[in-house]
Amino acid sequence: MDVVHVSIGSILSIVLQTLLLSSSCGSLEPYDLLYNNAVEAFYRSDYKDVVRHMEGALSSYAEVRQTKVRCRLRCQNQHPFDSASMDLQFFDVVLRRSNCQNECIEETVGTQSMHRVSEDVIQDFHRRIPYNYLQLAYQKLKQLDKAAAAAHTYFQANPESVEMDQNLEQYKALEGTNLDHFVDREARPHQRSFSAGVKLYDNANYEEAISLFEEALQEYYRADVECRALCQGPQRFEEQDHVLYRYSLYQLVSDHFTQVLHCEHECVRDLSTRPGRLSPMENYLPLHYDYLQFAYYQLNMVEEALECAQSYLLFHEGDEFMTENVEYYREAIGHDLKPREKAEWYLRRHEQELELLMIGSENMHVELSEGHYWTSTGGREDSNRIPSGTDGWMEYVPISEKKNFTLAPPQELREGGPLVYDSVQLIQNSQALNGTQRVLLDDVMSVEECAELKNLAHTVTMAGDGYRGKMSPHTPNERFEGATVLKALQYGYEGRVPLKSARLFYDVSERARRIIESYFLLNSTLHFSYTHLVCRTAITGQQDHRNDLSHPIHADNCLLDPEANECWKEPPAYTYRDYSALLYLNGDFEGGEFIFTEMDAKTVTAQVKPKCGRMVGFSSGGENPHGVRAVTRGQRCAVALWFTLDPLFRELERLQADEVVQALDNQSSQSKWDTSLNINPKDEL
């Protein structure tokens, strides 16, 4: 679970509280400040404050979002672009619109809620992390109805969460809860109405289904307007992230509006993607008209059926089944009808944006999807010219078919190569671990080396290291601490840890790399992608009835989608990672077993109990979903390693560490390290 680091959060609190004191009393409290206060209260076990601050954060987040939508739409109407405007007139409109938006938003939420919120906090709200804290807090406060709602809301966006799945089952079995309590507090109106309509349609309750489908359409178009309004703010794109981007004013403005168009085009994907899913529902918007045409036909409302069938054909011109339906409806009423104006307008605007995007992409060199995310679903049979209705089949559109990414050349899958070091013992291969490209090895480190690295970890690791200052990226029930090789070497130079221990960390990671490269018989060099000395510690008092994972099931180079049984190799996943390894320092703790699963993230195929010197290695793709069971007592420490076959993605800190080690070796004529060596940390560290 994502949790804000206490020290960073404290600084944020001071800054934002200062802003609050200098602002008007009626202004909106910043949601990131409230969120941080709630997390701190959670670790103090002050559950009333958790609820107060977290509910306030959710309310503030929603208010800021709606304020941006209202203000941007209002200012857009007040300061429209004239297609015939000259350059100076265009820039005048841009400035007036921007000033209008800032004044409008500030008037509603106050200055202190207009600051730029960190991307980490925004992602936590998108992933509904606040509801995980809320369900735990409400549970402690014995407010089971609210706990059930919070748990259900979180689970909708995190269906792979084993912990929440089990919590929901427990809530359902408890007295004082009923099915009405299991509501999705973040349900999007257009998706909620559509899903409810499908259920009624499947039960042949066509009259009520029509009401919900029509409501869903209205909500969809309203959500489309809001989504597009949210695209009107500042944009960030990769072409501005490097020094060689020499832009003129016109190029910058052009690139900005091209990115806005791209964002607006992606609203199609966003509105048809369910929470926690990676891919949109296929044919989402056209399906509304497909369901409606058949439902209206069943109620003998043929004119309405024809209008909806014609609307569907806007998206799928020439569709065989719908064309036959249209002919049937025309004959039945004796005349023709046009598609709905809203559908015509929507599709016409969408096609115009695609044309502009294709022009803009030539300037920005951005690869954009040409797909509309609506593809004919098929699955129906001819009924002797009696209108056919949808069977409701909706499936995911594979993202990998819509975007191209440059990946490392495929490797021939082999294993069983030399283990390089005489002491290393092969315990289980892929077959024994019930998978592909998996290996379990023992005695990669000695007992003495494990003890030395664990002592190093107690000094050099810091809470949240490696995860942008977050105390625990996966669960609030454990403390997470980590350190890189370069950081360990820096501490060694400063005399805060033995320099030979830092060198051992460096050497052990190289040992692991050589073993993985040799055992899997790779035909090219394996490079470090990221190296991390990490410890997870069970937090006392938070282990009762615990059933979550220390690290949820995931894959290392793709986005695991358990429901679709796919793993999408696209950002933000580390798509360049090819192999992974975990080298354990100890086994004197409870829980913490490493597990492999099927792609459903539930079926366990193999389990590894950590101990000193044991290493599990595997390829990083969707063939090897894995996770870590909860650490319920003690501390679990390991060296975590990720490797790449692409030298362009070598770990920068590792290259710097290589330079430090080389400098030390060059200056020392002895086999042992001398902490008195004259090394300038500003140059090397």
User: Catalytic residue numbers?
Assistant: 636
Nearest CA to 455 out of 391, 501, 420 is that of 501
C-alpha to C-alpha distance for 62 and 381, rounded to whole angstroms: 45
SS (H, E, C) 231-283: CCCCCCCHHHCCCCCCCCHHHHHHHHHHHHHHHHHCHHHHHCCCCCCCCCECC
Name residue 413's amino acid: L
Nearest CA to 563 out of 394, 377, 380 is that of 394
Q: Kindly give, in sequence order, each residue whose CB lies less than 8 Å from that of residue 464, ignoring residues fewer than 6 positions away.
A: 5, 470, 471, 480, 481, 482
Q: Extract the tokens encoding 303.
A: 């004119």
Do residues 418 and 228 make contact, with C-beta atoms less than 8 angstroms apart? Answer: no
**Long-range contacts (CB closer than 8 Å, 24 or more residues apart) made by 126-131:** 127/2, 127/157, 127/158, 128/153, 128/154, 128/156, 128/157, 128/158, 128/186, 128/275, 129/1, 129/2, 129/154, 130/35, 130/38, 130/54, 130/57, 130/58, 131/185, 131/186
C-alpha to C-alpha distance for 73 and 232, rounded to whole angstroms: 9
Backbone angles phi, psi at 389, to 5 degrees: -115, 165
C-alpha to C-alpha distance for 269 and 6, rounded to whole angstroms: 36
Is 659 buried (19+), middle (13-18) or exposed (0-12) by CB count in 10 A?
Answer: middle
Nearest CA to 660 out of 639, 638, 681 is that of 681
Give the three-state DSSP class for 351. helix
Backbone angles phi, psi at 436, to 5 degrees: -125, 135
Give the Å distances, CA to CA, from 308 to 200, 317, 395, 473: 18, 13, 22, 47
Do residues 678 and 666 make contact, with C-beta atoms less than 8 angstroms apart? Answer: no
Query: What DSSP state is assigned to residue 386?
Result: S
Give the Å distances, CA to CA, from 370 to 270, 373, 402, 559: 15, 9, 7, 22
Nearest CA to 367 out of 254, 231, 233, 238 is that of 238
Do residues 44 and 8 make contact, with C-beta atoms less than 8 angstroms apart? Answer: no
